[in-house]
Copies of this chain bind each other. A is one copy, B any other.
Amino acid sequence: MTSAHEEAWLRTQLRTIIFGTDTPAGRGFDIALLVLIVASVINMMLISVAAIESRVGPYLNGFEWFLTLAFSAEYAARIYAARRRWAYIVSFYGLIDLLSILPLYIGLALPNAHYFVAVRVLRVMRIFRVFKLVRYANDANIMTRALRHAQRKMQIFLGMLALMVTVLGALMYVVEGPEHGFTSIPRAVYWAIVTITTVGYGDISPSTPLGQTIAGVAIMSGYALLAVTGGIITAELTNEISNQRQNTQCPHCERSGHEIDAAYCKFCGGDLSHDPDEEPADESRQKARDKLD
C-alpha cells in the first residue's frame, strides 16, 4: 500500500520526533515522556504503600497498565524508527526501555505462580525509567562532563576507601569477634563502610574497650584523611578548570578567560570551536548518537 519511499519518509519523521530534540514536536514528545516516567515512579510508590493500595489499588493498577501500554507503544515506535535497529535494542537505553515494560507482562503469564518475589524484583526495575531523565540532564548541564573528567580522581578516592574499610573491617573482626556482632569479615567490612563514611547506623558498634579505641583512632584518621583527600581533589579540579580557561583563546580577538562550556567568544562573539586546543566534544557526541539511530 505505502511505497518504500513513503515508509522511509514516515520513519524519518518518527525518528525526528522520538530521537530528536531539535524540533517542537521532538521536544514535545520528550516532555510528555518525562511526565509519564515521573507519573510511573509516583504510581509505583503509591502501590507499594499498603494503606493506599488497599483503598485505591484498582485505580493505581489500571493506571499502571495504561503506562505499560504507553511505554510498550513507545518501545515499538523506537524500534521501528531507529536507523540501526539492533544497535538500539542492545544499547543501554534500549535495554532499560525493555526492562521497564517486561515485569507486568511476566506477572500476567505466571499469575498464580509462587515466583512472586522474583517478579517483584522485575517490577521495581521499572524504576530504571528514572534513568531516562538522565538523557535530558546529559544535554542540559556541564556537570556530567566535569564528572566524566574527574572519573579517575573518583576512582582513586574509591580505591582508598576500599583499602581502608577492608583492613579496618578485618582488624575489628579479630578484636571484637562474633560475640559482639562482627560475625564475619564481610559483615565487619560492612560496619567499616558504614563507619568510615560517617553514616553510623549503630546496628553494629564496638563494645570492648580495645575495639572502641581502635574504632576511635580509625574514625579520626579516616575523617582527616578523607577531608584532606577531598581538598586535594578540589584543589586539582580548581586549577585544571582555571588552566583550561586561561589556555582557551578566542581565535578571532585572541582574548582568553572563557567559560569551559562556552561555544562563542564572550568579547567578540566569534566561534570558539575552531580553536585547536579545544576538544570538539559536541561533535564527537553527535556522531556517537548518529551511529545509534
Contact = CB atoms under 8 A, between A and B. Distances in A.
Interface of A: 41, 44-45, 48-50, 117, 120-121, 123-124, 127-128, 130-131, 133-134, 137, 141, 143, 146-147, 150, 153-154, 156-163, 165-167, 170-171, 173-174, 177-178, 183-187, 189-190, 193-195, 197-203, 205, 207, 209, 212-213, 215-216, 219-221, 223-243, 245-247, 257
Given A157-B227, A158-B221, 20 more contacts: A45-B186, A45-B189, A48-B185, A50-B178, A120-B174, A127-B170, A133-B163, A137-B156, A141-B156, A147-B229, A147-B232, A150-B231, A154-B228, A195-B199, A198-B199, A199-B200, A202-B203, A226-B227, A239-B241, A243-B245
Nearest to A53: B184
Q: Which of A131, A177, A220, A245 has the most CB of B within 10 A?
A: A220
Contacts of A167: 127-128, 130-131
A114 B156 CA distance: 41
A157 B238 contact: no
A113 to B, nearest CB: 17
A234 B236 contact: no
Nearest to A245: B239
Contacts of A186: 45, 48-49, 209, 212-213
Nearest to A240: B235
Contact of A241 (B173, B183, B223, B235): B235
Chain A at the B interface: SS class? helix
A190 B212 contact: yes
Instruction: List the number of copies, as a whole number.
Output: 4
Contacts of A246: 257
Contact of A44 (B130, B170, B219, B233): B170
A1 to B, nearest CB: 45
14 contacts: A44-B170, A44-B185, A45-B185, A49-B185, A124-B170, A147-B229, A154-B228, A157-B227, A186-B212, A187-B209, A199-B199, A200-B201, A246-B257, A247-B257
Q: Kindly list the 7 A-B residue pairs having the minimum CB-CB distance in the complex, ordered from nearest.
A: A199-B200, A231-B234, A201-B202, A127-B170, A235-B237, A48-B185, A235-B238
B193 A220 contact: yes
Contacts of A165: 220
